[in-house]
Amino acid sequence: MIGREMMAMTEKLVIIGNGMAPGRMLEHLLEAAPGRYDITIFNAEPRVNYDRIMLSPVLSGEKSFEEIVIHGDGWYVANGIVLYKGHKIVAIDREAKTVTSNHGVTESYDKLVIATGSVPFIIPVPGNDLPGVLTYRDLDDVDAMLLAAQSRQKAVVIGGGLLGLEAAAGLKERGMEVTVLHVMPTLMERQLDPAAGYLLQRAVEARGIKVVTRANTKQIVGDGKVEGVELDDGTIIPAALVVMAVGIRPNVTLAKDVGLTVNRGIVTDDRMRTSDPDILALGECAEVGGHVYGLVAPLYQMARVAAAALAETGEDHFAHADTPTKLKVTGIDLYSVGDFADGDDREEIVLRDASAGIYKRVVLKDDRIIGTVLFGETADGAWFADLQKKQTDVSAMRDTLIFGQAFQGVPRRTLWRPLRHSRMMRKSAAATASARVRSFQPLPPRD
Ligand SMILES: Cc1cc2nc3c(=O)[nH]c(=O)nc-3n(C[C@H](O)[C@H](O)[C@H](O)COP(=O)(O)OP(=O)(O)OC[C@H]3O[C@@H](n4cnc5c(N)ncnc54)[C@H](O)[C@@H]3O)c2cc1C
């Protein structure tokens, strides 16, 4: 009798996508409301949930795929979850409340979670579909790169952002001769200011990777397979492998097809509910508060919020916060969070130790940190981020702030002796350009 009552109470939860966001959501949900849902997952990728972030260490050979699995097969069995691997959902019927996979499996739901992640952006140039042109998103991409790397030939990575540089480092590690093409004047320009971007370029080049900035791809050339990349100035860079890592787009096709409100991502409220009250969205495919995200920290917050909404154990709300960026390339330490653009209402404190390859920049507005860039020495990243998150008034520690947490309370003049090769400066935005010329050597390339 109790069993029957339980059965009657159990609702059906279907999840589309088995990435990091729904994986984390399920952990919260199973804890908050065990047995509440009968759970079925459809995943287009033919595998269990794994730590996508750690694909770069798999590419470089520092980790195996088994080491980055988050939930192995046994976890699904133990939690009574049905996982359809390699099943892509091709239709949602909101009236009948069913989903159907490309292999013809139809499943009904009471609540549906869409967590379809992102799709890599492919530059619309001739030759972008030649064999040997890859993107960098999942284990299949890594396997294809590893296969290509066996040739020890030349590779071109288009995109000098986080993914592109990690792909380049991994391919170099695997014995390929790698060139990175980046359309902007400095690398990772969305996360780093030009000075740090320039230091990063030097560090990447020191690993034997060529970097070409201001490089506009005209076409990918090859007869039946990729043979090179032609830039718009006519230069051809030979390559047996081309990896495009130029950005991602939220994967919203399904949601759009069934009439959910979609902007850049699937629009949700701050409890991750879409325009259909029985459908939630989370992860990189979701847009909440006007933002879409490409790093896991906010996705894990979405996961917690969505689990609370499904468990109905209390209200939890998503709140936007800046997420720090780090590069997972061994030997290159960089950390960036927040807003570091120049502005009349901002001040910045900069420390540069050229011989040690250290650069630190903290941007202040109204005595609060709004942006931090650290290169070469990043141990204080979390401390700066915490001051920024809490919007701590830092006026009392201005003179020592840039030296980090351990130096708070230390008289400033004693800091100068060990750092006599370093330069530290504080300046207003108006003085930025000339101050940078005096202070930073070597200079980043100018536009
Ligand atoms: C190489 C690499 C390195 C990264 N490094 C970092 C890092 O250092 N720090 C950081 O914070 N973030 C990093 N990221 C980003 C991070 O991995 C993503 O933000 C996160 O994994 C996204 O999770 P998700 O669950 O939203 O989507 P995904 O993990 O993309 O999962 C979506 C899943 O949905 C499936 N799917 C799509 N459509 C369908 C459908 N119709 N039916 C069924 N299944 C479908 C896909 O097959 C996929 O498995 C990195 C990403 C990559 C690729």
Tally of CB atoms within 10 A around 317? 14
Q: Can you give the pLDDT at residue 1?
A: 36
pLDDT over 90 (residue 107): yes
Structure confidence at residue 435 (pLDDT): 31
- Span 160-217, pLDDT tens digits: 999 999 999 999 999 999 999 999 999 998 888 888 898 899 999 999 999 999 999 9
Which domains, from first to last, does the chain contain?
2-119+249-311 (3.50.50.60), 133-246 (3.50.50.60), 333-437 (3.30.390)
Average pLDDT in the 336-355 region?
84
**Do 258 and 109 contact (CB within 8 A), yes or no?**
no
Q: Using 50, 70 and 90 to split pLDDT, how confident is the model at 411?
A: low
- At 345, the pLDDT band (50, 70, 90 cuts) reads confident
Buried b (16+ CB within 10 A) or exposed e, 40-79: bbbbbbebbbbbbebbbbbbbeeeeeeebbbbeeebbeee
Which atom of ligand 1 sits closest to the CA of residue 167?
1
Banded model confidence at residue 90, pLDDT cuts 50, 70, 90: very high
How far away, in angstroms, is 150 Cα from ligand 1 center?
26
Strands 228-231 and 217-221: antiparallel
Q: How far is the CA of 351 from the centre of ligand 1 (A)?
A: 36
**Closest of 286, 338, 134, 125 to residue 216, by C-alpha:** 125
Check if the beta carbon of residue 363 is closer than 8 Å to that of residue 339. Answer: yes
124 Cα–ligand 1 center, Å: 23
- The predicted structure's pLDDT at residue 292: 96
How far lies 421's CA from each of 199, 207, 301, 399, in Å? 17, 25, 42, 18
Ligand 1 pocket mutation, candidates 109, 116, 171, 318, criterion most atoms within 8 A of CB = 116
413 alpha carbon – ligand 1 mean position (Å): 48
Span 275-291, mean pLDDT?
A: 97
Predicted confidence band at 313 (pLDDT cuts at 50, 70, 90)?
Answer: confident
Cα distances from 353 to residues 40, 126, 134, 356, in angstroms, run 54, 45, 39, 6
Task: Return the percentage of the chain with pLDDT > 90, whole number.
Answer: 75
pTM of the model: 0.89
β-strands 279-281, 111-114 pairing: parallel
Residues at CB less than 6 angstroms from ligand 1 = 16-22, 42-45, 52-53, 55-56, 88-89, 115-118, 136-137, 163, 166, 251, 254, 283-284, 294-296, 299, 328
Q: Which two tokens stand for residue 248?
A: 């991602």
Contact indicator for 227, 142 with CB cutoff of 8 Å: no
Distance from Cα 39 to the centre of ligand 1, integer Å = 20
As a whole number, mean pLDDT of residues 92-117 equals: 98
Radius of gyration of the chain (CA): 24
Whole-angstrom Cα distance, residue 31 to residue 68? 23
Instruction: Give the Å distance between the CA of 52 and the centre of ligand 1.
Output: 6
Residue 283 alpha carbon to ligand 1 centre in Å? 8
Q: What is the mean pLDDT of residues 81-92?
A: 98
Q: What is the pLDDT of residue 447?
A: 36
**Nearest residue (CA) to ligand 1, atom 7:** 53
Q: How far is the centre of ligand 1, averaged over its atoms, from the C-alpha of 345 (Å)?
A: 37
Residue nearest to atom 51 of ligand 1 (CA): 53
**pLDDT at position 341:** 74
416: Cβ contacts below 8 Å, ≥ 6 apart: none
In angstroms, rounded to a whole number, what is the distance separating the alpha carbons of residues 5 and 369?
A: 55
The reported pLDDT for the residue numbered 436 is 34
pLDDT of residue 200: 92
Ligand 1 centroid distance, CA of 278 (Å): 23
Ligand 1 probe mutation, 296, 302, 328, most atoms within 8 A of CB: 296
H helix runs in 95-184, sequence order: 139-149, 162-173
- CA of 140 from ligand 1 middle (Å) equals 13
pLDDT at residue 39, as a whole number = 98
In this structure, which residue's CA is closest to atom 53 in ligand 1? 137
Residue 398 has a pLDDT of 87
Question: What's the pLDDT at 191?
Answer: 84
Hey, which of 26, 45, 47, 52 would you mutate to test ligand 1's pocket, going by the most ligand atoms within 8 Å of its Cβ? 52
Mutate to test the pocket of ligand 1, among 25, 40, 45, 53 (most ligand atoms within 8 A of CB): 53
Q: Please check the confidence at residue 412 and state whether its pLDDT lies above 80.
A: no
Residue type present at position 24: R
Distance 118 CA to ligand 1 centre (A): 6
Distance 221 CA to ligand 1 centre (A): 30
pLDDT for residue 124 = 96
Farthest CA pair distance, the chain: 81
Q: Which atom of ligand 1 is nearest to the CA of 299?
A: 26
Closest atom, ligand 1, to C-alpha of 101: 42
> Which residues, listed in sequence order, are joined to residue 288 by a DSSP beta bridge?
268, 291
State the pLDDT at residue 415.
56
Segment 104-111 shows an average pLDDT of 98
Which is the closest atom of ligand 1 to the Cα of 90? 41
